[in-house]
Structure 1
Amino acid sequence: MSTASLTVSGLRVAYGRKVIVDDLSLPPLQPGTLTALVGPNAAGKSTLLRGIAGLVSGTRGQVRLGDRDLLAMSIPERAQHLAYMPQGLPGGVALTVMETLVGALRAVPTALAPDGASAAAHAIRVLQKLGIEHLAMRTLDRLSGGQRQLVGLAQALAREPAVLMLDEPTSALDLRHQVSVMALVRETVVRSGLVGVVVLHDLALAARFADRLVALSEGKVQADGTPTHTLTPDLLARVYQVEARVERCSQGHLLVLADAPLRGAA
């Protein structure tokens, strides 16, 4: 279990000349906690996640895991500490689910999979945790979007990283799988002491499962704190440009109720 926090300082992420995130810093993200990046479309959520993961060449600044400078590492070195799950795996791939998981495990040296047999056994255990072991011998090109999303999560979890970064892991899932996947992500982050960072559009899911929300707009942090302190009518008006209420359901979960768009908002 890692005890190192993740710190982002002065981060600048650009695609060519287009700067998406500029001089962004975050207080340390602690192990054993899940942080959700929320905000409207084009707020910079996915770009920030990719920048932190070191996947955008035009990234400057510091991303440190304890005393390790992740952006200064090579991709294989960084992959030993950080796992990133994109919004979706490509559909036109004829590899089986098992082949993709074993390949991910074998690509980066790890004690979890010193040989092919142990990698296969570990891959099956991860698939069983997600309840998708029946997909092991199916090829990616025969899976639905939601099934590929679950396989992507399996790949991210398989290497048991110190930092787990997920870009909209529930976007292709039905309601049942949205709740079950987020519950599993939270359980894994807390139990294994990971630094978890997830991009979510659904504010109810974010409020229910994340310890901390970072609300973004135009590549800048608009609010950062617990769901209770972050999700306010004022924030929803400023960031989402809606008149909205924040209430609790009968089970105590936060609900965001959007009543109307603000007049004059684009």
Structure 2
Amino acid sequence: MLLIENLSVKRGSKQIINNVNLSLEKGKIYALIGANGAGKSTILEAIYQNINSSAKITLNNTLHTDKNYKDKIAFMVQQSLNDVSFSAIEVVLLAKLKDLGIVLKDSDLEFALKIMRDLNIEHLANMQINMLSGGQKQMIAFAQVLAKEPELLMLDEPVSALDLHFQSLLLSELKKQVKSKNLISIVILHDLNLATLFCDELIVLHDKSIIAQGNAKDILNKELLKKIYKIDARIIYDEDDTAFIQVLRPCND
């Protein structure tokens, strides 16, 4: 379980996040949603201890003050590989740097290749990262966080640079990893249809605080979408009760 108590963040005199409390269970993917500038990335940065906050954070009985706390977390940030000059497989293996010996073993290479094979990117293994497209870099970054074998997976807009095939592939693989290994995952997504399709619960951030959390069917409605995103929208449910959002028009009232 990930337990976040009284998370508040200030930048100078400006309050960015105010008194966020969350209790997240193993084996679930949580979509953190909200308008641009709502503070979604700030929450992930605070959980990872990259910025100061007032929170008490406990991950599977490990406090955020413990020295091995960050070892339990894999955090995929936006555009994380822009200035890297390694090959793709070297980038994936960096996640296991603490465990690697002076001589790279065949088992280490096979471990990295297995992850890349599952993501349909094994053919990129020997290519230089700086020669890849933005979407390909995004997939390599995802392979790297999986290679860390974390207890908590945090992904900040992981599908923003991907085409439809790789959006589906990445989120499907994320779901498989979370379910099979009983992990916790928090994913920032702007596409609400992907959020409702692949994530177990939505966490709605607005006006510096969490205003709703739960299954999409239980919390999503036209009034909430209008409040958060300033849109008129229609919510459609398929035969499996999965919610799909059809945006009709922007609104200013």
TM-score category (smaller protein): over 0.9
Whether the aligned pair in 2 keeps the contact of 1:42 and 1:218 (CA below 8 Å) is: no
- RMSD (Å), alpha carbons: 1.7
Residue 83 of structure 1, aligned match among 67, 74, 77: 74
Alignment of 1:94 with 2:85, yes or no, is yes
For residues 82-115 of structure 1, the C-alpha deviation after alignment (integer angstroms, 9 at most, x for no partner) is: 1100012232321111222222211x34xxx567
CA separation in 2, counterparts of 1:244 and 1:253? 16
| Structure 1 position 169, deviation (Å) | 0.8
Query: Does structure 1 conserve the Cα–Cα contact (< 8 Å) formed by 2:7 and 2:17?
Result: yes
Instruction: Summarize the alignment of residues 54-73 of structure 1 with structure 2, pairs less than 5 Å apart.
Output: 54-56=49-51, 58-70=52-64, 72-73=65-66
3-state SS in 2 of match to 1:19: strand
Residue type of the alignment partner of 2:24? L
| 1:201 pairs with 2:178 | no
Structure 1's 96 and 16: CA in aligned 2 closer, same or farther, altered over 3 A?
A: farther
Task: Flag the 1:67–1:252 CA change in 2: closer, same or farther, 3 A.
Answer: closer
CA distance in 1, matches of 2:69, 2:117: 27
Q: Aligned AA for 1:18?
A: K
Q: Which amino acid letter does the alignment assign opposite residue 47 of structure 1?
A: T
Match of 2:139 in 1: 150
Q: Distance in 2 between matches of 1:172 and 1:127?
A: 18
For structure 1, which runs of at least 5 residues remain unmatched after alignment? none
Structure 2 residue matching 1:116: 3-state secondary structure: coil
**Pair 1:79–1:126, CA change in 2 (3 A):** farther
Decide whether aligned partners of structure 1 residues 262 and 92 sit closer, same or farther in structure 2, where only a CA change above 3 A counts: same
Give deviations 1:7-28, integer Å, cap 9, x for gaps.
11101223444331121101x2
Identical positions, percent:
32
Q: Under a length normalisation based on structure 2, what TM-score does the superposition of the two structures give?
A: 0.93
AA matched with 2:126: M
Aligned-pair CA distance for 1:229 = 1.1
Equivalent residue for 1:104?
Answer: 95
The count of residues paired between Structure 1 and Structure 2 equals: 251
The within-5 A match list for 1:71-220 is 72-74=65-67, 77-106=68-97, 108-109=98-99, 116-117=104-105, 118-220=107-209
Q: CA separation of 1:61/1:79 partners in 2, compared to 1, >3 Å: closer, same or farther? A: closer
Distance 2:145 2:115 in 1: 10
1:245 aligned partner: 234
